A = this chain, B = another copy of it.
Amino acid sequence: MISRQQIKYITSLQQKKYRNEHKAYVIEGEKMVEEALHQIPERIELICYTSKYIDSIKFPASIASKVSHVSDKDFANISSLKNPQGILAVIHQPDTNNIDDNSFSEFILVLDSVRDPGNLGTIIRLCDWFGIHHIVCSDDTVDCFNPKVVQASMGAIFRVELKYIDLNDWLLKFKKNKNYVIYGATMDGANLYSTELRKPAILIMGNESNGISKEIQELLDQRISIPNQSEFPEKSESLNVSIATAIVCAEFSRQFN
Contact = CB atoms under 8 A, between A and B. Distances in A.
Interface of A: 35, 38-39, 118, 122, 125-126, 128-131, 152, 154-156, 159, 193, 226-232, 234-236, 239-240, 242-243, 246-247, 250-251, 253-254, 257
Contact of A243 (B234, B236, B243): B243
Contacts of A154: 236
Given A130-B229, A131-B229, A131-B231, A125 B250 contact: no
Contacts of A193: 254, 257
Question: What copy number does this chain have within its complex?
Answer: 2
B253 A131 contact: no
Nearest to A247: B250
A35 B125 contact: no
Given A122-B243, A239-B246, 15 more contacts: A39-B234, A118-B118, A122-B240, A129-B230, A130-B230, A131-B229, A154-B236, A156-B236, A159-B234, A193-B257, A226-B250, A243-B246, A247-B247, A247-B250, A251-B254
Nearest to A39: B234
Nearest to A228: B129
Residue from A152, A228, A246 having most chain B Cβ neighbours under 10 A: A246
B253 A128 contact: no
Contacts of A242: 240, 243
Please provide the 4 A-B residue pairs with the shortest distance between their CB atoms, ordered closest to farther. Answer: A131-B229, A128-B236, A247-B250, A243-B246
Contacts of A236: 125-126, 128-129, 154-156
